[in-house]
Amino acid sequence: MSTTRIILADDHAVVRSGLRRLLELNKGLEVVAEAESGEQAYQLFGEFLPDIVVMDLSMPGMGGLEAAKRILQRYTTAKIIIFSMHEAVSFASQALKAGVRGYVTKTGVAEDLLAAITEVARGKTFLSAEIAQKVALQTLMGDDDPLHQLSSREFEIFRLLAEGRKVEEVAEMLKISQKTVANYYTMIKQKLGVSSPIEMVRLAIRHGLIDS
């Protein structure tokens, strides 16, 4: 039986330690490296070329979504599973749009992550039951989520600004210029039809990106 080699990316050492124990109890799964930031996950991917990356979304610096996007741009066959506290369908939709193969919520059962690894290793896609239901419902009801108009880079910038980060902070985190962030900000406001930071925050709260 071949071994599935995994990189864990989460900024909490306790979470990584628990995940490592959970995964390595299963024959055929091996954690080859751990990352505590998106930048580190990207770097380690190039070094280890794992079968699967299990990645959190919220990490300091480059978040999981941006890291996943960069890995997939360079290594098109990379298999990435998002393992996150975020249960908003917008996060899952953006992740899938970026090319991620799995989305599992941390509030779900441990078996979900193991099932995701098995399915994704086989080349399939896996979503936690509650996420799959939300995605299906949104498709069924017609898509009225304005956030779907945003590219993954716009979505990440929108989320950070809505969390109250300043333009210079976002520029530093994503390693782009302040002018680029300001240009994105203008574009995001146009696409979403919002004109002030307050409206932006309200929209983010309504779609479950940030807590009220």
Q: In what order do the strands lie in the sheet with 29-35?
A: 29-35, 4-9, 52-55, 80-84, 102-105, 126-127
Q: What is the DSSP code string of 14-62?
A: HHHHHHHHHHHTSTTEEEEEEESSHHHHHHHHHHH--SEEEE-S--SSS
Structure tokens at 146: 């304005």
**pTM of the predicted protein model:** 0.88
What residue segments make up the domains of the chain, in order of their start?
4-140, 146-206
CATH number of 146-206: 1.10.10.10
Alpha-carbon distance of 54 to 19, in angstroms, equals 10
Count of alpha carbons within 13 Å of 117, Cβ hemisphere only? Answer: 27
Residue 44's pLDDT is 98
Beta strands in the chain (DSSP E): 4-9, 29-35, 52-55, 80-84, 102-105, 126-127
CATH class of 4-140: alpha beta
**pLDDT tens by residue, 158-206:** 999 999 999 999 999 888 999 999 999 999 999 999 999 999 999 999 8
Does residue 109 surpass a pLDDT of 80?
yes
